[in-house]
Amino acid sequence: MPTQWKRSPEELHKTYIANTEAFYRAAGRDLAEQMDDFCVSCALQLFSRSASLTEDHAAAVNALYSRGRPQPTWLLWALTTEVGKAGQFLPPLFFWQLTERDAREGTDLSRVFIRMLTNILLCLAAVDDDVTYAEAEYITECGDKLSALCDGAGVKKGKPGLRAADFVTSAEPSFLDKNPPAAAGQTGGAQGKTAGKTAGEAEAEKPDLDELMAELDALVGLEEVKKDIKSMMNLVKVRQLRKEADLPVPPLSLHMVFMGNPGTGKTTVARLVGGLYAAIGALTKGQLVEVDRSGLVAGYVGQTAIKTQEVISSALGGVLFIDEAYSLSSGGENDFGREAIETILKAMEDHREELVVIVAGYTGPMRKFLDSNPGLESRFNKYIFFQDYNGEELNAIFHLQCKKNGYELDEEAEAYAKEFFDRLYEERDENFGNGRDVRNRFEDMVVRQANRVAAMEAPTKEDLVRFTKQDFLEEEDGESLPQSPAQPETAPSSEGADKV
């Protein structure tokens, strides 16, 4: 029986715009990127409950973009692969913030969001002209999880949303029921590695150990870090071999502490560690889930444990990377951060074979963090120190940025680059950003070079790719060394800091 919710891609886009624009007017347009990403993620999970996947489903996902945002370009084969790997519904971080705002201001934006999401999901479910029981169950689950967060935060009641079960038109089995994860292209998890696969095919699905080790070796500097990671890999590899040979296996904690300043590659190395562990069979997936305090701690009693558990669930089979972990223990005895710590410690015990936790941050605060709870000291016994990059290494990172983005330096700029980064390192202070400072300098140079080239009457291809010494210099202060953005030791900000 056809459904009243079916929309063409054009109509679906108009429906999406109508719903989201009304929401942005109240909640702010800065949520547009997060909203689009979240709705695409929900669509992938919803489509795993559809009876089948067609070009209509790909067209529907391509209709999910807010005004002023780029349109997605999904193809059916890529969509099918991602649907086969779709996980469980997780409330987005911005929704937690909405509930806290609603409770504080007496508004109900989070309730409006739930009704809006239900409308969008029903339209997505109906792209094949049917709404299955499995799709309705998923839509209901999303609404129930979000409503529970509203209730827990004390958000005032709003008018009820639509009941997805009232619009079911088909009892046909879902796509995943008819195409188990292994057949749908899922590479993570035990089922995806074994069901319907030969041993050789299952092995091929693992991350490539040699490629990951080559990527580790290619990182600029970090020689001691590389040595520590390789020793850890050897230890884990031999432990796996002993287990396969039915030999006694001594207990081993895979959890680690990364200590060092921002911009020294901690997040990059954590991502590689996850892949390496998966390549040698210590983890099933090896994905990296990166969070900080805001991604774990809620503003109300009892909500932090739920929020932290959701993050942990998404990290099972891989690595949970907690940046600025010391902020979880810095708020006193009644701070909700301590609830997050206890939840993480319990998960480390309950999921010791499928979860690796890496905590990271400045050296001094991290030592205090580990001393704040006996459970932390006992579970984290591997410490890796990330030294600041020296001038030569900063220059090498800069040249990698240039090569990656298709820029070259003329002779004068080459000489000045070496001098510049040597001075940047020698005159560094507590605000030194390492690779972050290099990235910021590169981005500033791209702008200055663009302004310079745009003023030319007929720039050549060589002009378009060439950096000069002039592009290094701040207009207002000539050849003075740029200052790093303020970042006090006691409260560092590290959003994306370690991605060099």
246, two tokens? 């039915």
409-435 pLDDT, tens digit each: 999 989 999 998 998 889 888 778 888
In this predicted structure, which of 37-51, 122-136, 161-175, 250-264 has the lowest mean pLDDT? Answer: 161-175
Between 491 and 268, residue with greater pLDDT: 268
Domain 391-472 has CATH 1.10.8.60: yes
Instruction: Check residue 333 and give its pLDDT.
Output: 60
94-112 pLDDT, tens digit each: 888 888 889 889 998 999 9
The DSSP line for 219-278 is: SSS-HHHHHHHHHHHHHHHHHHHHHHTT---------EEEEE-TTSSHHHHHHHHHHHHH
How many whole angstroms separate alpha carbon 136 and alpha carbon 139? 5
Given a cut of 70, whether residue 23 has pLDDT beyond it is yes
Instruction: Check residue 120 and give its pLDDT.
Output: 92
User: Are 67 and 59 a contacting pair, CB within 8 Å?
Assistant: no
127-147 pLDDT, tens digit each: 888 888 888 889 998 998 898
φ, ψ for residue 220, nearest 5 deg: -70, 135
What is 206-386's CATH topology?
Answer: Rossmann fold (3.40.50)
User: Are 396 and 409 a contacting pair, CB within 8 Å?
Assistant: no
How many whole angstroms separate alpha carbon 498 and alpha carbon 333? 30
Instruction: Check residue 183 and give its pLDDT.
Output: 37
- The predicted model gives 223-229 an average pLDDT of 91
Between 496 and 336, residue with greater pLDDT: 336
Instruction: Check residue 195 and give its pLDDT.
Output: 33
In this predicted structure, which of 331-335, 362-366, 457-461, 464-468 has the lowest mean pLDDT? Answer: 331-335
Length of the chain: 500
Number of H helices, E strands in the chain: 23, 7
Domain limits, the chain: 9-173, 206-386, 391-472
Instruction: Check residue 26 and give its pLDDT.
Output: 82
52, two tokens? 């089948």
User: Helix H segments across 48-189?
Assistant: 55-61, 76-84, 93-105, 109-125, 133-153, 175-178, 181-184
Instruction: Check residue 174 and give its pLDDT.
Output: 57
- β-bridge pairing 256-260 and 383-386: parallel
**DSSP-derived secondary structure letter, 457:** S
- The predicted model gives 259-270 an average pLDDT of 89
390-408 pLDDT, tens digit each: 999 999 999 998 988 889 9
Band (167; pLDDT cuts 50, 70, 90):
confident
Given a cut of 60, whether residue 197 has pLDDT beyond it is no
442-493 pLDDT, tens digit each: 888 888 888 888 888 888 888 888 999 888 886 544 444 444 444 444 334 3
How many whole angstroms separate alpha carbon 467 and alpha carbon 120? 48
Instruction: Check residue 88 and give its pLDDT.
Output: 77
Instruction: Check residue 1 and give its pLDDT.
Output: 46
Given a cut of 70, whether residue 74 has pLDDT beyond it is yes
Band (43; pLDDT cuts 50, 70, 90):
very high
Given a cut of 70, whether residue 250 has pLDDT beyond it is yes
Helix (H, G, I), strand (E, B) or coil at 358: strand
Helix (H, G, I), strand (E, B) or coil at 105: helix
Instruction: Check residue 499 and give its pLDDT.
Output: 40
Given a cut of 70, whether residue 117 has pLDDT beyond it is yes
Please provide the average confidence, as pLDDT, over all residues in the chain.
81
H or E segment at 322? strand 318-323
How many whole angstroms separate alpha carbon 180 and alpha carbon 196? 9
Instruction: Check residue 201 and give its pLDDT.
Output: 39
